[in-house]
Structure 1
Amino acid sequence: MGVLARGVTALVPLGSELIVAVVLGMVVGNTVGVPSWAAPGVETNTRWLEAGIVLMGASVAVDQVIAAGPTVVVLIVAAVTTTVLTVELVARVFVRIPEKVGSLLAAGSGICGVSAVAAVAAGIRPTDQQVAYAAATILLFDAVTLLVYPAVGAALGLSDVVFGVWAGTTMFSTGPVTAAGFAYSGAAGQWAVLVKLARNALIGVVAVGYALFYSRRESGDTATLPDGVTAQSLRFFWSNFPTFVVGFVVVTALSSAGAFSAAQLAALDDASNWLFLFAFVGLGLTVELAELRETGFRPVLVVLLGLLTVSSVMLAVLSVVF
């Protein structure tokens, strides 16, 4: 289907081949279905995405990243903090859903989608149903924002940098951020991925913070985390850290040092594009529309209000900063 997506977009101007790949996967997955023998392969789509991001490091414009570095770091921290607090506020005060569901939604919205939901769930011990509701809600917004963000960016005439940083700071999961960024432009895609990777690195901090908060609430013990994991445990941080980021940094450093020839850079860029294409076919195949329809209205309202608030504020700030 990845080859088909590239062929279709070469013949018919349907927009980004990555979005076409996701849509093809969704159509096939929700009509024909995924055969049992193919399911293990489809589930590796996140690995293909991570490998594509690692290779993408060879084409990153390091000088631009360094120049904007401090500003982007401040924006990332501000976006994560604002998102988590906004979703928690809406969930606890206005919509009033169970507090652990609100916390899972806040982590998923603020850091890295379903991965953050799973990481935080390990420390706060919600019910399986609460995890399922939170994950389904995040997946719903992943699908919607993947299509809406590029359309909004084009309608507003956003620059590549503004769009990339906006998507990287306010969209949820790495896959949709990458697809939306590259659907807008190559430069926007690179900025979106760079910002998203930096944001993902905060997952350990958020997971530990939530575990400490609920541990104190439920047991009065502020010194330890569930299962005996101490707040100072590097292993806990590392277990939740997106380790492929290390590969991305290494490849970027090698490229900046001139380790690759022009032909090798072109080959790495082409390989990265193909890996993204296959990853997004797999992403589409894993989206189950029936499950999304079963998501309760209240969690959706919480995330919608949080996303509209934070994305609007961040877009206004970015338009001034850049």
Structure 2
Amino acid sequence: MSNTRLPSFKFLIGFEAAARLGNYSRAAEELFVSQSAVSHQISQLEQQVGQPLFRRKGRGVELTVAGSLLLDSVGKSLEHIRNGLARIETYMDDRLVTLVCPAPVANGWLQPRVDRLLQAHPDLCPIISVDESARFIDELDVDIAITRVPLRQEGVFEVPLLTDELVAVGPATSTDDAALGLLCLEDDLTSDRIGPFIRAHFGGRRKAAIYDDPRLVLDAALRGRGIALVSRLLADDALRTGQLRLLADSPRLPLGSLWISRAEGPSRLPLVRGVFDSLLQFAQEDAQNMRQIDQSVENTSIV
């Protein structure tokens, strides 16, 4: 391990500015210091590294070989720091609320409700992420997390939000479901729990396509390519808008509850609590709507 003492950060900033601008005077103007201050900083830096970093060129300066090598590292490091500070500045915006959610739920349930969120909270600018690894409240700038299992983190308040199930959905215009092939997710076919369910209840139906992303399964059904086995929450918007319909008499497989979490006590921003409460309200309303859709499907199958 090197024992080289790191130069003063002030020296490195002066060096980078002078190297970038090719002139001590312009570097001084940019840094709001005197030209002699910049010259002194660079002299001190040269003494510490033991080599000249600049040579005179006309009214300006140019880098020596040693200076070019140092600038390569210093320039990249300062740019990295500037980018980090810019990111922090972005997160200081008190309109931002970061919400992490599984991709199928974000696509099928959350995204169609963003307009309602914005109506309820006009100042809101939501940051919606499907990175399920970043779900630690207040540790990775996550304000609200929707997850398939409780987080059980200290200092986190969480409650059940929605229930989900695997359902069979078909094109709204189809008149002969028996003729349609099966659209399904590759992971479901190999799952210890979902795989046997599919084989037991849909094994006799030819496979029309197999995908590695549930959103592609849903898209294929919307394009009329077959019967899709998908999360009901993923299909939620398509069912509510009549683009797809639940297949009457088709069995369903419960997929459990989704949980919504936020920090206990006062939130980082007042908006966080408001968004959390709005999502809970939407979920309660949707539970009633789902029961109405189910009742409609049951009535259709009876007829």
TM-score range, shorter chain: under 0.3
Structure with more strand by fraction: 2
Structure 1-normalised TM-score?
0.22
Structure with more helix by fraction: 1
Q: Which has the larger radius of gyration?
A: 2
RCO comparison, higher one (Cα < 8 Å, 6+): 1
Structure 2-normalised TM-score?
0.22
